[in-house]
Chains A and B, each alone.
Chain A
Amino acid sequence: MSPRFVPRQTQPVSRARALRISSHTAKATLLVAGVLAAAAVAGATIGKADDQPITITDVNGNSVTLAAPSIRSAPLPPPLGTFAIAIPGDADHLVTAHPWSKAVMMQGLLSSYFPQLADLPTGAIGGGFVPNIEALLATDPDLVFQVGFMGDDVLTPIIATGLPVLTINVTANDDAVDWIPMMGAAYGVDERAETILSWRQDTLTSITETLADLPDADRPTVAHLARYGDALRVVGGVHFRSWQIEAMGGVNVAAEVPQRSAEISAEQLIAWDPDVILLNAFQPELTPQMVYDNPVLQSLTAVRERQVYAFPIGGDRWEAPVAESPLGWMWLSELLHPDRFQWDYTAEITSAHELLYGHAPQAGDIARMLRVDANQSSAGYERFSTF
């Protein structure tokens, strides 16, 4: 049983290296320019491209013109918080973030890469995605990102302040392919964004190709629990996570549920009897063992065969449409089809983090990201324990 697909390691690494070099060069240029300006010799030489106005049109047809690339953005929707770090490659381009986003920054590796994130304010966005305009203005942003699908009430108050606003949609697809070039343009790093986008698309393409001849009978059924506790909440059919399950060669048992996610009874889960259960990373205390110990769920295939897995947490939660999604796809594709995928996580995660954040994880970080402690009692997780 030789691996049919051996992931490429060299390409992302070399890309990352190239980017780091170019970013160092840029910093050096700025430094020199700054010294020159201070000496009052040639003050007008700083980044000529920066002075060109940038016009960006979002997926909903809103058009904004920025006098210069954004350096103080307010990414209000949760997945954009870490994108606002990954796209420019540092934590200096955002002035606020959604509380969920801040939470994962503190919980995962980003706070160790960028210690200044500990002081990032979160008051600009609250429950129901309603912005707090005064808190938002207090962070002095030059650009705001907001959701475009939750009605005018969450949008018009921001537009009324005169701040430029770009919107995103969240559908049952990988919408990040729209966000990445848009944010790249906003930060004036189109080439970086292009590299990040191709890594995302190349990873997906290679997985899709490897699964091209997969018979339907070999697609395991999967339930992604968006909440596990007293009540069960499952990812329904119209959700990025449902698309993700299908794209990684699984079948979402709750595809018939017409909501993004819905409360279900334990009996419904038993009736579906998924082969694999995925646990959300928004409840970081949640472990597969809690499901294995639940007396009501003992007869589930996923419990009997111990195929319950908690989603990894890297710079962000891999289950969500985030910059690190390709890593989540590697993880999920290998869980669902261990005979077809054997990714080298040390190499992939290291090169991805160098590409996105300019930092490499330390020894032990990778096992922590893959949540080896929580998942070690689950079938087949030995393969992740070596990292």
Chain B
Amino acid sequence: MLASSGWLLACAAVAVIAVIALGLGRYAIEPLEVVRILLARLGIIEADVPDTARRVVELVRAPRILSAALAGAILGMTGAALQGIFRNPLVGPQIIGVTSGASFGGALAILLVGTTAATVGFAFVFGLIAVFIVYMIARVGGQAPVLMLVLAGVVVSAAFTAFVSLIKYVADPNDTLPAIVYWLMGSFATATYDKLGILALAVLVSALVLHALRFRINIMSLGEEEATALGIRVEPTRWVILAAVALGVAGVVSVAGVVGWVGLVMPHLARMIVGPDHRKLLPAAALAGAGYLIIVDTLARTMSAAEVPIGILTALVGAPVFAVLLRRLHLKGWGRG
């Protein structure tokens, strides 16, 4: 009973953050007006709201806040899952190559095609390709040991990062280069309902798979031998999880570019609160990530007239928080079993 009210409280907190964020922005709208617009849209009240305010809330802020929430949630969740199966607190979605693969795909699409649909599609496909290459490199005798996976991830990330640099080198410095650079830094400024739909689909599938495998992630976090001894087929399970992670992260990268640190820091924060059991850790990391990214994105769009790239803010906040968390790691939370 106590536990379920805690979850309710956490969900309510994220919802409150989202509604407050909906009332903040460069275009001044009274908070009450925002509430009226929301209630009118939901059909709860009949209200005559100004067209400009309605468009700002419904077409600019709402898709952006929902995108940030979904992206934060899936980054937190995938980070927690990866840290579990790799038994390594320093692992984030970047480590399996999906982020750099998706970055390359998106940059290539901006260079060659220039449409949103192409950016999303390319980022997605190349994110999955990167994971597949990691798998092919890491596979030794039908198995992929954790060390090989991590090293293969580093190699593939380095290669795709080089390809991204190559694209930046050949891109038109006036037109496509700023677009690529800005997209790579990460931003929800271009959020639309179309992009939100794509993100939501990727997040939903990814989250459902990870949620379904939460017990297995628990067992795999005990170690490979223990998991095998307990009857888990480690290899296939690991790859299903990696594919789910790739899907979720590629979805984020394709609509918002590279948003670093969330997948690394939020699982730690969640673990300090709910402990290492992935049945609780996965949803907790998702809620923490969602709330956090809404706050950071609100800062990014309100601090100055010019947009602040969100990657700068998540790194500025994330790095010191991560340092503190690392110091506390051996005291609390990371213990297993």
Known contacts A100-B174, A127-B177, A283-B175: does B56 contact A267 (CB below 8 Å)? yes
CB pair A271 B27 closer than 8 Å:
yes
CB pair A265 B301 closer than 8 Å:
yes
Tell me the complex Cα distance, A26–B79, Å: 74
Give the residues in chain B near A99, CB-CB below 8 Å.
Answer: 172
Give the residues in chain A near B27, CB-CB below 8 Å.
Answer: 267-268, 270-271
By beta carbon, the residue of chain B nearest A253 is: B305
By beta carbon, the residue of chain B nearest A233 is: B178
User: Counting CB contacts under 8 A, is B202 at the interface?
Assistant: no
Give the residues in chain B near A299, CB-CB below 8 Å.
Answer: 51-52, 55
CB pair B189 A265 closer than 8 Å:
yes
Our pick among B26, B51, B172, B179 for the contact of A267 (Cβ within 8 Å) is B26
Known contacts A231-B182, A296-B55, A299-B51: does B168 contact A127 (CB below 8 Å)? yes
User: Counting CB contacts under 8 A, is B161 at the interface?
Assistant: no
CB pair A227 B61 closer than 8 Å:
no
A287 shortest CB reach to chain B, Å: 16
Give the residues in chain A near B307, CB-CB below 8 Å.
Answer: 262-265, 268
By beta carbon, the residue of chain A nearest B64 is: A265
CB pair B52 A263 closer than 8 Å:
no
How many contacts A-B (CB < 8 Å)? Answer: 92
User: Counting CB contacts under 8 A, is B190 at the interface?
Assistant: yes
User: Counting CB contacts under 8 A, is A298 at the interface?
Assistant: yes
Contact with B along A70-106 (1 / 0, CB 8 A): 0000000010000000000000000000011000000
Our pick among A256, A264, A295 for the contact of B59 (Cβ within 8 Å) is A295
Q: Which of A233-267 contact B (CB under 8 A)?
A: 233, 236, 254, 256-257, 259, 262-267
User: Counting CB contacts under 8 A, is B116 at the interface?
Assistant: yes
CB pair A268 B175 closer than 8 Å:
no
By beta carbon, the residue of chain B nearest A128 is: B173
CB pair A236 B179 closer than 8 Å:
no
Give the residues in chain A near B94, CB-CB below 8 Å.
Answer: none
User: Counting CB contacts under 8 A, is B32 at the interface?
Assistant: no
Contact with B along A157-170 (1 / 0, CB 8 A): 00000000000000
A35 shortest CB reach to chain B, Å: 47
Tell me the complex Cα distance, A100–B174, Å: 8
Does more than half of chain A's interface fall in helix, strand or loop, or is it mixed? mixed
What is the interface size of chain B, counting residues whose CB is below 8 A from a CB of the partner?
Answer: 35
CB pair B305 A267 closer than 8 Å:
no
User: Counting CB contacts under 8 A, is A115 at the interface?
Assistant: no
Our pick among A127, A227, A259 for the contact of B306 (Cβ within 8 Å) is A259
Our pick among B51, B55, B177, B306 for the contact of A262 (Cβ within 8 Å) is B306
CB pair B28 A271 closer than 8 Å:
yes
B145 shortest CB reach to chain A, Å: 41
B236 shortest CB reach to chain A, Å: 39
Tell me the complex Cα distance, A236–B305, Å: 10
Tell me the complex Cα distance, A312–B315, Å: 42
Residue with the highest number of chain A CB atoms closer than 10 Å, among B174, B179, B187, B306: B306
CB pair A127 B171 closer than 8 Å:
yes
CB pair A264 B305 closer than 8 Å:
yes
Known contacts A127-B168, A236-B306, A262-B305: does B56 contact A270 (CB below 8 Å)? yes
CB pair A231 B306 closer than 8 Å:
no
CB pair B55 A231 closer than 8 Å:
no
Tell me the complex Cα distance, A271–B301, Å: 13
Give the residues in chain A near B26, CB-CB below 8 Å.
Answer: 265, 267-268, 271
User: Counting CB contacts under 8 A, is B23 at the interface?
Assistant: no
CB pair B175 A282 closer than 8 Å:
yes
Give the residues in chain B near A364, CB-CB below 8 Å.
Answer: none
User: Counting CB contacts under 8 A, is A229 at the interface?
Assistant: yes
CB pair A263 B175 closer than 8 Å:
no
Tell me the complex Cα distance, A236–B306, Å: 9
Give the residues in chain B near A100, CB-CB below 8 Å.
Answer: 172-174
User: Counting CB contacts under 8 A, is A230 at the interface?
Assistant: yes
Q: Which of B299-326 contact A (CB under 8 A)?
A: 301, 304-307
Give the residues in chain A near B179, CB-CB below 8 Å.
Answer: 227, 229-231
Our pick among A264, A270, A282 for the contact of B52 (Cβ within 8 Å) is A270
CB pair A257 B306 closer than 8 Å:
yes
User: Counting CB contacts under 8 A, is A126 at the interface?
Assistant: yes
Contact with B along A210-236 (1 / 0, CB 8 A): 000000000000000001011101001
Tell me the complex Cα distance, A78–B174, Å: 10
Tell me the complex Cα distance, A100–B187, Å: 27
CB pair A268 B305 closer than 8 Å:
yes
In addition to A267-B301, A268-B26, 5 A-B residue pairs with Cβ atoms within 8 Å of each other are: A127-B171, A236-B306, A265-B307, A270-B56, A299-B51
Seen from chain A, the residues whose Cβ lies within 8 Å of a Cβ on chain B are: 78, 99-100, 126-129, 227, 229-231, 233, 236, 254, 256-257, 259, 262-268, 270-271, 282-283, 295-296, 298-299
Closest 3 CB pairs of A and B: A262-B306, A299-B52, A271-B27
User: Can you name 9 A-B residue pairings with CB atoms under 8 Å?
Assistant: A128-B173, A227-B178, A231-B183, A262-B305, A263-B187, A264-B307, A266-B60, A267-B26, A270-B52
